[in-house]
Structure 1
Amino acid sequence: MKFKYITTIIISGTLLLSATSCKKTLEDINKNPNGSEAAQPDYLLTGVSKAVADTYWGTANNMDAGLLWIQNWSKIQYTDPDRYIYTSTSFNELWSTGYSKGIVNLNSLIKIADAQANPNYKGVALVLRSWIFQLLADNYGDVPYSQAADIKQYLTPAYDKQKDVYYGILDDLKSAQTFLNASGPAITGDIIYGNKILSWKKFANSLRLRIALRIADREPEKARQVIADIQAEGSGYISSNAETAQLVYSTSPNQNPISNLFDTRDDYRISKTIVDKLFALNDPRLPVYASKTADATPQTYVGLPNGLLVGDASGYGFTKTSKPGTYFLAPTAPAVIVSYAETLFDQAEAAQRTLSTAGTAADLYKQAITAALSQYGIATADINTYLAQSSVAYDAANYRKSIGEQKWIALFGQGLESFAEWRRLDYPQLTPAVAGTLGGKFPLRFIYPGTEQSLNGASYKAAVASQGADALTTKLWFDVN
């Protein structure tokens, strides 16, 4: 849904970010006698959606991490992130925004929904909260979940194991379906689906499918049961590009974060890895994903290798390498959360792995590619030509390669989701950064914010003891292969 202006009014919440002394005294004293202490649910919903979408699509997590690690983008200036060089504060934003602006405020929205007898607000809040917890678990591993509902009671919450977080999310999404009712009370403030409850029901099921596959290598029977429950529930999945879960931005001050950054900076280029792949497949999305070089070059679109030293990167030439495509640099470019194409790829994999009895893998795979190309207005004739190539044809004997490579292309721009799926499917097979600092290895997770060691030390140490070293290269529970 497009919007012209958002007043982000959200309850101030701090989880794991503030000291506990004098907390109740300050809360009691620092009250504005002229200000309302009752948050409005529509403002909460709008504010949370915007804040989390900005973080999900923004610099710290997307442009300086996910998009570099899965080699959609590369850096031509200030190349440390492309070489896997980070500090203890590099990954604070997803954590702080996810909890203090996301989870805390959605928990408040759930309480308001109960008080106002409006279950649709509660259902929507559960769906958004589940997505945020999924992002946190996907990227950090073990995170606070069961004690994250009440920051007054749990100022230093324990970390739940990644498996338990995913299981909890699946339960929450199943519950969300019981609250979401198109015939129930109306909601307002929804900048993702324009207050359409049926779309939220499909979004919930699509997230359930995503997470079922996230756990499928570890817990295939649980994944199978989740998918069976979805099919029995009957609302279906996102079923067209028009139903994609996304936040469509507007002009300043509410433009896409990528557009905002490129207004003043010139740090990024499209990665040579994906440019080479698109050329090899004669992929019609190349001029969508990449801009033409400013100076004429033999190939017109030129990618930059990932992880170069600063001098080597700039030596390729700012005007002789391609920025990301103008589609992604536009102020109104959407922050995609779950696309129609992704849902079809997920259904194809579920069918291939006999986790689902709906459809055939090869047919769903073709539908997924068609949806992915149609998303950018690619003509039907060009889509058919693309699908007819042997290099694109579905290989049931190596479905991870077929689905993994095409899904990686389709998820272009969605750095965090693409990073999770690359770890899970192990395709495409990438080469680490040229001048990477991890001994020829890739990052496999975010490191915890440095504040966790000082403000929630006991819980932090317990999580590290359980999960493994708080290092970029520590493999998470769902990442089996």
Structure 2
Amino acid sequence: MKKILLYSAACLLALSSCDMDINENPNYPASGDITPSLEFPAVQNAIAAVPGDAMFTYGGYFAQYFEQRPEYNQYNDIAELHFDEASQLFDRCYRTIYAGAMTDIKDIESKTTNTANLYVCKVMTALAMQYMVDACSDAPYTEACQGSANPNPVWDDGQSVYENVLKAMDEAEAAIAASDNIDMTDPMFSKNLDSWKRFANALRLRMYMRLIDANVDAANYTAKAKAIVANGILPVSDVVFNVYSNAEGQYNPWYSNIFSLNANNFCAAYPLVTYFNSTNDPREAYALNKAAASGKYVGEIPGAKTKYLEWDGTKLMDKDVSLVNTEVAKAMPVYLFTLSEVEFLKAEVELRFNNDEAAAKADYEAAVENDFLSRQVAGYSDFIAGDKVNFDKQATKEDKLKLIYMQKWVALFYRNHFEAWSEQRRTDVPAVSSASAEKVHKDPTSYTAGNLIVPAVNYYGNNGLCKRMPYPSSARQLNKNTPAVKTLADPVFWDVK
């Protein structure tokens, strides 16, 4: 399987830049010879690279899991929100989605009439477009990937993209012929159509919640969300892209970049560590190391690497903070949708829309337990009995909902940082502390454990957090229809709280 995937990816890289037939590399097949079975693994690989590589890093900072390690400097600009379009942070993801996945999907769709194949292509399209919209709010969709016939596709507004890909996925599922089965190579689900339908429902539920909270046809999407939860046709295990190993050249893509740089730039952020500590959470040890100087888990204040000398008269050093254990990620799959996230969404629907606290509690506890199991961490029973995380010990419905959101934030750490950032923007949980970074450092009693902190050094100047990715610089250079420049403070369409 890995050989097929790598071969397919190499072929597609060779073919993505132009459509000319001359000077073809004889080591690669001609475009017409590439079958959907070879292309579909490359589609999955490309889409998985978005949350599994660059956005694992950026989302890790924006969700305040990560901070820049004190004695390293690669991600200072991310920690301090010192970037714009010229920084080209999202360009690689943009190219991966369009020049890679979407172009390949379009080619597959031109080569097959198999309705099961066409359906799973629509599911992957929905996921890819969800990523684009959640990052940039707008996305080329209706005119995308038309090549020289339309080199300047319009950028559709995010709401219409969400609604159109959901509609296309519904129509493709309804059109599946009873005689058709997936016949493309399928690393994600091994051609199991039932698993694809369960994954599609999870995607629907995730996207419905964002549409509901944006007050887009909320009654309709609320009814749809309730129906999905009631039907229960949802994933029964983590949805992953899992083709990696401990062998050099086959590492997880995020780890591979760390390995190639020979540098671990990541330490734990203060909000994550304080919340772990306040709830006596044994998952803290899963991917964090105790600070060498104190033997305790210590988080770095967001954006404050250069401020400790000013505040304390002593420069912050690596030994003073908890470093991220990147070895855990060496062969880690890319988590596209965890079972824990599914259960948290179910708990939210039961609590918010069905007013069923008993069902919400069961789903909440299943979500937390599944995360413990996923990480092979012991101690779930003792943990869930703790006052701060026990569902029954939350005083109000609002407190229970906040607990669901907070524990989802914890469970997405070292799983899917892009989704963690998106869910924080949707729910406003963790909340943003009213205390400044300096105040939190000097007076920890002013701070509620787990709350996000406005970075101590914050170049974009709006006294807030990053709400979106800048449009890709390469898109602006090549497509005159790229929308006007947005700031980091401009939210995506569904971020209205």
What is the TM-score of this pair, normalised by structure 1?
0.86
SS in 1 for 2:6: coil
Task: Give the corresponding residue for 2:317.
Answer: 317
Q: How does 1:298-377 map to 2 (within 5 A)?
A: 298-299=295-296, 301-310=297-306, 312=308, 315-325=315-325, 328-329=328-329, 331-354=330-353, 360-377=359-376
Distance 1:419 1:318 in 2: 26
Q: How far is 1:402 from its partner? A: 1.4
Q: Does 1:447 align with 2:442?
A: no
Q: Does 1:470 align with 2:486?
A: yes
Q: Does 1:479 align with 2:495?
A: yes
Q: How does 1:159-170 map to 2 (within 5 A)?
A: 159-170=155-166
Please identify, of 144-153 and 69-78, the stretch whose mean Cα deviation from structure 2 is larger.
Answer: 144-153
Label 1:196 to 1:208 Cα distance change in 2 as closer, same or farther (>3 A): same
Distance 1:222 1:30 in 2: 54
RMSD: 2.9
Distance 2:405 2:2 in 1: 31
Of the three residues 414, 419, 431, the one matched with 2:453 is 431
Distance 2:251 2:52 in 1: 11
Task: Give the corresponding residue for 1:55.
Answer: 50
Distance 1:44 1:369 in 2: 36
Of the three residues 381, 388, 395, the one matched with 1:391 is 388
How many residue pairs were aligned?
A: 453
> Partner amino acid for 1:163?
Q
Label 1:252 to 1:198 Cα distance change in 2 as closer, same or farther (>3 A): farther
SS in 2 for 1:269: strand
Label 1:177 to 1:362 Cα distance change in 2 as closer, same or farther (>3 A): same
Tell whether the 8 Å contact from 1:45 to 1:189 is kept in structure 2 after alignment: yes
Q: Does 1:40 align with 2:63?
A: no
Q: Does 1:409 align with 2:406?
A: no
Distance 2:14 2:399 in 1: 47
Task: Give the corresponding residue for 1:199.
Answer: 195
Tell whether the 8 Å contact from 1:400 to 1:427 is kept in structure 2 after alignment: no
Of the three residues 98, 117, 132, the one matched with 1:136 is 132
SS in 1 for 2:140: coil
Q: How far is 1:105 from its partner? A: 0.8
Task: Give the corresponding residue for 2:242.
Answer: 247
Label 1:49 to 1:128 Cα distance change in 2 as closer, same or farther (>3 A): same
Tell whether the 8 Å contact from 2:299 to 2:322 is kept in structure 1 after alignment: yes
Label 1:334 to 1:272 Cα distance change in 2 as closer, same or farther (>3 A): same
Label 1:144 to 1:359 Cα distance change in 2 as closer, same or farther (>3 A): farther
Tell whether the 8 Å contact from 2:66 to 2:269 is kept in structure 1 after alignment: yes
Label 1:173 to 1:5 Cα distance change in 2 as closer, same or farther (>3 A): closer
Deviation readout 1:334-387 (Å, 9 max, x if unpaired):
1100010101111111122217989822221122111122211233xx212211
> Partner amino acid for 1:146?
T
SS in 1 for 2:334: strand
Distance 1:262 1:283 in 2: 27
Structure 1: unaligned runs, 5 residues or longer: none
Label 1:337 to 1:152 Cα distance change in 2 as closer, same or farther (>3 A): same
Task: Give the corresponding residue for 1:270.
Answer: 268
Task: Give the corresponding residue for 2:435.
Answer: none
Distance 1:319 1:176 in 2: 54
Tell whether the 8 Å contact from 1:173 to 1:205 is kept in structure 2 after alignment: no
Q: How far is 1:80 from its partner? A: 1.6
Distance 2:131 2:354 in 1: 24
Distance 2:35 2:4 in 1: 20
Distance 1:165 1:328 in 2: 36
Tell whether the 8 Å contact from 2:24 to 2:30 is kept in structure 1 after alignment: no
Label 1:398 to 1:356 Cα distance change in 2 as closer, same or farther (>3 A): closer
Q: How far is 1:140 from its partner? A: 0.1
Q: How far is 1:436 from its partner? A: 1.6
Distance 1:73 1:310 in 2: 16
> Partner amino acid for 2:466?
P
Q: Does 1:105 align with 2:100?
A: no
SS in 2 for 1:6: helix
Of the three residues 277, 282, 286, the one matched with 1:284 is 282
SS in 1 for 2:335: strand
Tell whether the 8 Å contact from 2:5 to 2:38 is kept in structure 1 after alignment: no
Tell whether the 8 Å contact from 2:286 to 2:377 is kept in structure 1 after alignment: no
> Partner amino acid for 2:234?
Y
Q: How far is 1:44 from its partner? A: 0.9
Q: How far is 1:472 from its partner? A: 0.8
Label 1:332 to 1:149 Cα distance change in 2 as closer, same or farther (>3 A): same
Of the three residues 53, 56, 67, the one matched with 2:60 is 67
Task: Give the corresponding residue for 2:444.
Answer: none
> Partner amino acid for 2:83?
Y
Deviation readout 1:417-442 (Å, 9 max, x if unpaired):
11110000000121111212132211
Deviation readout 1:241-281 (Å, 9 max, x if unpaired):
3x433435223212112322332112111212201110110
Deviation readout 1:11-50 (Å, 9 max, x if unpaired):
45999xx9xxxx8xx7365556894222221221111222
> Partner amino acid for 1:36?
A
Deviation readout 1:423-467 (Å, 9 max, x if unpaired):
00000121111212132211100010123333222x22xx43xxx
Tell whether the 8 Å contact from 2:56 to 2:254 is kept in structure 1 after alignment: no
Label 1:303 to 1:342 Cα distance change in 2 as closer, same or farther (>3 A): same
Q: How does 1:203-242 map to 2 (within 5 A)?
A: 203-217=199-213, 218-219=215-216, 220-227=218-225, 230=228, 236-239=233-236, 241=237
Task: Give the corresponding residue for 1:94.
Answer: 93
Tell whether the 8 Å contact from 2:59 to 2:421 is kept in structure 1 after alignment: yes
Distance 2:201 2:362 in 1: 21
Distance 2:294 2:266 in 1: 18
Deviation readout 1:213-237 (Å, 9 max, x if unpaired):
11111122231243356468x5700
Distance 1:86 1:231 in 2: 40
Distance 2:264 2:144 in 1: 39
Q: How far is 1:141 from its partner? A: 0.3
Distance 2:177 2:251 in 1: 32
> Partner amino acid for 1:416?
F
Tell whether the 8 Å contact from 1:3 to 1:248 is kept in structure 2 after alignment: no
